[in-house]
Each structure stands twice: as C-alpha cells, then as structure tokens.
Chains A and B, each alone.
Chain A
Amino acid sequence: EVQLVESGGGLVQPGGSLRLSCAASGFAFSSFWMHWVRQAPGKGPVCLSRINSDGSGTSHADSVKGRFTISRDNAKNTLYLQMNSLRAEDTAVYYCARGFGVYGDAFDIWGQGTMVTVSS
C-alpha cells in the first residue's frame, strides 16, 4: 500500500524547534519530488517546502524561508522538515505529500498529518 506517515509534531514554545519526519512506503520514494504542506485550523492548505527526487534542489515559501529546512534520506525512505524559530502563526496540521506529474506539482498522496502547536 502506498503510504506516507508523518511524526514529530507536538506542543512547542515560541522560538523553539521541531523536526518533522515523513516515512514513505509502497512506492519508489527516490523517484518523486516531495512537499510539506500545512493547514491552520479553519484555513486552506499552504505549500511550505519542496524537494526534488535526489535532494539536490529545494524551495521554501517566503513565510518560512530561513527558518524551515526540507531534506530527505532516500536510503531510509524518509522526508524531513526542520523547523526553527517557531511562531504562534506556525500552529497548524503539517502534511507531507508526494509530487506527481511532469513537474511534481500535483499532490497525489498525502499523509494523515501531524499537529504542531506553538504556544507558551
């Protein structure tokens, strides 16, 4: 079964750090672009970060640039999101998603999400 499973969310104080993980199974992980998408309560999804199949190229949204870093370990079939200098507005459900299509820009497989709460 094709599956993505996120972990690493939780409650963190403002200014703190978290590392999210996304374990992939059931498909050739190293062949796909991967993305992190977050969704604040009651809001729509927002794409945060993207990484190409071999990890040599990344892109981050302006709202997290310099604070968040996407990476991957293809030997472990795992995607990561290192989040530093967390703010209250980073509170959201964080999803990893597989990029599909010529440019990997359609998200055909999503994880179940992991909740990140930034609060003192």
Chain B
Amino acid sequence: SYVLTQPPSVSVAPGKTARITCVENNIGSYSVHWYQQKPGQAPVLVIYYDSDRPSGIPERFSGSNSGDTATLTISRVEAGDEADYYCQVWDRSSDHVVFGGGTKLTVL
C-alpha cells in the first residue's frame, strides 16, 4: 500500500522559510494535496494538485512535486502558521486516499 513519509517536526524562525517534505517512491506521478490543521480544528486545504492554492490561502504557501518528493514551502513564516501539516494523495491503483503521518511546524 502507498505510504507517505513526512518528518515528524520542523522548526523555523519567524520570517524564514519552512519546507515540509512528503516522500514516497514516484510520488511525482501523483497529485499531492496539503492540509494545515490547528489544535481543535478541522484540517484546511492549503495546496491542491501539487502547487495550486485555494482562494484565501496566502501566496506565502507554495508546493512542488517531482521524483520521490513533494514539498510544501511556507515563506516568511508567521506565528500563526504553527500547526500540523499533512500531505495526501489518491492512489488510483488501490482506489485509496492516503494521508501522510503529519509534520508539526513550530515557529521559534
């Protein structure tokens, strides 16, 4: 089955750039979506189809996907970006939607 591997935690200083990875063999051939989840709240879609941003999501959020790694990049990180982030794909071969294990972003 498809397993998406994310680092458990990423720390970044305010104003700097955070990069969160999502690794699986040949993930570049899949469409990757990213979600932000703050404590006690439902997840929020921040990037879809690798690099598109829903309306209302700041341009500071961007995504890329190639080879074995998809990356969520958050530029000019703010304290309000502190949250858990999850990558997600739809594995067509098994018809299963798969989430990564999540990455806790800490703003120092």
> Which A residues contact B (CB, under 8 angstroms)?
35, 44-47, 50, 59, 61, 95, 100-101, 103, 105-108, 110-113
Contacts and interface: CB of A to CB of B under 8 A. Distances in A.
Interface string B72-108: 0000000000001010111000011111111000000
7 contacts: A35-B97, A44-B100, A46-B99, A95-B43, A100-B48, A108-B54, A113-B42
A101 B49 CA distance: 8
B90 A107 contact: no
A44 B98 CA distance: 10
B63 to A, nearest CB: 12
A106 B42 contact: no
B99 A44 contact: yes
A interface, over-half SS: strand
Interface of B: 31, 33, 35, 42-45, 48-49, 54, 84, 86, 88-90, 95-102
Nearest 3 CB-CB pairings of A with B: A105-B90, A47-B97, A110-B42
B86 A106 contact: no
Given A35-B97, A44-B99, A47-B96, A103 B90 contact: yes
A112 B90 CA distance: 23
Contacts of A107: 33, 35, 43, 45, 88
Nearest to B95: A59
B99 A106 contact: no
Contacts of A46: 99
A47 B54 CA distance: 21
A106 B35 CA distance: 10
